[in-house]
């Protein structure tokens, strides 16, 4: 930045300075000769011009320059701050979520799943001002565009990695570990997809459990039999979940609020839609071709991404579990051994609890507001021949000969399961569909 605006004739302060130089020079240089000093008049004039020009012209210009520099540095700091909003107070993330829910003392009643009463939730919305666009002067420099740290160190993302169901948490982990902007861009697209699928699969299992029917659900069932499911199908189902809230309550604590559209149409659904649009753009020939393009697309995408992750926070309360075994005890309860499919670590924590209802061995469930609800056939754990280990998969489509085509969340490997086909295309009322009674 310079002392005067360029070109100088557009800057009133440049004119002001010039005026003082000329005026004081002429006034003193051409004024009456003063006998008390020994200098000639023209030298007096020159000195006066220099003095008044500096004091009344250059000094204010310097002050103005410093003020402008200060303002720019503050705006940059603000911008950086809005890119890394701090996590709103959510004690749920750190508190042991299972403790309140699974009472393991044998003396307690047979009632299963003691859910905390729904507490009024503070809106977890992070205001995301549109920064950096209104003023050309503050366009991101190439260093900002290429910087992987804002996403790698984002506290919003780190909290979600630790607390969300595995598919979403795993995708966010990849995003944070990405070493360059192209990898990070692809991981951001995958994170949008994983977040949508995790939320929607949970909601769809619940919709089937409460026997709700929506047009998006019917479309989902049709797509399973035909071309397969896309991220758009899942999002469409999510957009209709709140129609059922009045009749059936909500899938899990906080989900109805998360799916509500906020002022001006903002909210989780809006963010997920933006992420879907970016995915579609990328899939249909609009992939960024280099790190700078990927970086600048990420700068635009990051607010929606962080916002979506923040607003999906109720997922941290909808524990996904994988039942390893269930046995009937002398206390008249089922003793369930399960893995908690939460967080980004693929070695899941083991939990044990009692249930008044049996749960199906090797099925996935999620903790709804009224008990565990089976996620089969939308999400299942299956052995993958390529990875040589069990993988968490989601149903993608039904193949007439091979059965349900499952896709692994982690790497898209396809696994076929002929037995699930009937579940997927007919209303879901199999044994152990839910634990509530």
Output the smallest distance, CB 381 to Zn ion, in A. 12
Burial of 170 (0-12, 13-18, 19+ CB in 10 A): buried
Report, in Å, the least distance between residue 200 CB and Zn ion.
22
User: Looking at beta carbons only, is 321 or 392 nearer to Zn ion?
Assistant: 392
**Alpha carbon 435 to its chain's center:** 31
Query: Any contact of residue 412 with Zn ion (CB under 5 A)?
Result: no
Residue with Cβ nearer Zn ion (79 or 413): 413
Helices in 249-349 by DSSP H: which ranges?
255-258, 268-281, 291-311
Decide whether 14 or 381 has the Cβ nearer to Zn ion. Answer: 381
Q: Which is nearer to Zn ion, 173 or 357 (CB)?
A: 173
Could you give the strand order of the β-sheet that contains 364-368, starting from the edge strand earlier in sequence? 349-355, 334-340, 320-328, 364-368, 371-374
Beta carbons within 10 angstroms of residue 335's beta carbon: 15
Residue 389: CB minimum distance to Zn ion, A: 8
Minimum distance of Zn ion from residue 87's CB (angstroms): 32
Q: Residue 358: helix, strand or coil by DSSP?
A: coil
Give me the least distance between CB of 416 and Zn ion, in Å please. Answer: 13
Q: Please tell me whether residue 384 binds Zn ion under the rule CB under 5 A.
A: yes
Query: Within 10 Å of residue 30's Cβ, how many Cβ atoms?
Result: 10
For the bound state, the minimum distance from the C-beta of residue 378 to Zn ion, rounded and expressed in Å, comes to 19
Q: Is 393 in the site for Zn ion (CB under 5 A)?
A: no
Which residues make Cβ contacts (< 8 Å) with residue 213, sequence separation at least 6?
207
Instruction: Give the number of residues in contact with Zn ion, rule: CB under 5 A.
Output: 6
C-alpha span between 140 and 144 (Å, rounded): 6
CB nearer to Zn ion: pick between 12 and 383: 383
Q: With respect to Zn ion, which residue has the nearer C-beta, 203 or 393?
A: 393
DSSP label at 165? B
Q: Which of 88, 281, 413, 430 binds Zn ion (CB under 5 A)?
A: 413
User: Which of the ranges 130-138, 227-235, 361-369, 411-419 carries the binding residues for Zn ion, by CB under 5 A?
Assistant: 411-419
For Zn ion, which residue of 100, 110, 283, 387 counts as binding (CB under 5 A)?
A: 387
Give the DSSP H/E element, type plus range, for residue 248.
helix 245-248
Question: Which helix or strand (DSSP H or E) is residue 151 part of?
Answer: helix 149-152
Residue in 116, 386, 402, 426 binding Zn ion, rule: CB under 5 A: 386
| Spatial separation of the C-alpha atoms in residues 100 and 320, rounded to whole Å | 16
Q: By CB under 5 A, which span of 29-37, 102-110, 213-221, 390-398 interacts with Zn ion?
A: 390-398
**Which residues contribute to the site for Zn ion (CB under 5 A)?**
384, 386-387, 391, 408, 413
């Amino acid at each position: 930045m310079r002392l005067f605006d360029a070109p100088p004739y557009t800057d009133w302060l440049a004119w002001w300075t010039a005026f003082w130089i000329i005026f004081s020079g002429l006034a003193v240089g051409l004024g009456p000769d003063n006998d008390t000093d020994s200098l000639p008049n023209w030298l007096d004039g020159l000195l006066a011009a220099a003095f008044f020009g500096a004091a009344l012209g250059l000094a204010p210009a310097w002050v103005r320059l410093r003020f402008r520099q200060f303002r720019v540095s503050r705006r940059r700091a603000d911008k950086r701050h809005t890119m890394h909003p701090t996590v709103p107070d959510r004690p749920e993330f750190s508190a042991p979520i299972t403790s309140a829910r699974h009472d393991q003392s044998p003396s307690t009643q047979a009632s299963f799943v003691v859910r905390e009463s729904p507490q009024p939730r503070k809106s977890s919305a992070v205001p995301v001002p549109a920064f950096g666009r209104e003023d050309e002067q503050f366009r991101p420099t190439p260093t900002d565009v290429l910087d992987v740290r804002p996403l790698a160190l984002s506290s919003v993302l780190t909290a979600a990695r630790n607390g969300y169901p595995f598919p979403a948490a795993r995708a966010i982990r990849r995003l944070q570990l990405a070493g360059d902007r192209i990898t990070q861009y692809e991981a951001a697209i995958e994170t949008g997809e994983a977040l949508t699928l995790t939320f929607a699969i949970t909601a769809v299992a619940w919709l089937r459990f409460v026997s709700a029917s929506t047009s998006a659900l019917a479309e989902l069932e049709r797509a399973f039999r035909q071309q397969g499911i896309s991220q758009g199908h899942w999002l469409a189902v999510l957009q209709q979940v709140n129609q059922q809230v009045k009749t059936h309550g909500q899938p899990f604590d906080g989900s109805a609020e998360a799916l509500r559209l906020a002022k001006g149409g903002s909210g989780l659904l809006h963010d997920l839609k933006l992420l879907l649009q970016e995915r579609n753009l990328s899939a249909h020939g609009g992939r960024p071709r280099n790190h700078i393009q990927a970086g600048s697309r990420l700068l635009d995408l990051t607010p929606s991404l962080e916002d979506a992750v923040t607003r999906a926070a109720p997922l941290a309360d909808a524990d996904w579990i994988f039942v390893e075994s269930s046995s009937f005890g002398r206390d008249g309860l089922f003793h369930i051994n399960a893995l908690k499919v939460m967080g980004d670590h693929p070695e899941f924590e083991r939990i044990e609890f009692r249930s008044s209802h049996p749960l199906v061995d090797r099925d996935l469930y999620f903790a709804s507001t009224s008990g565990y609800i089976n996620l089969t056939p939308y999400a299942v754990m299956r052995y993958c021949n390529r990875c040589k280990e069990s993988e968490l998969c989601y149903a993608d489509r039904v193949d007439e000969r091979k059965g349900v085509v499952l896709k692994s969340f982690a790497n898209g490997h396809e696994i076929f399961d002929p037995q699930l086909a009937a579940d997927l295309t007919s209303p879901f009322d199999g044994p152990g569909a839910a634990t509530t009674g």
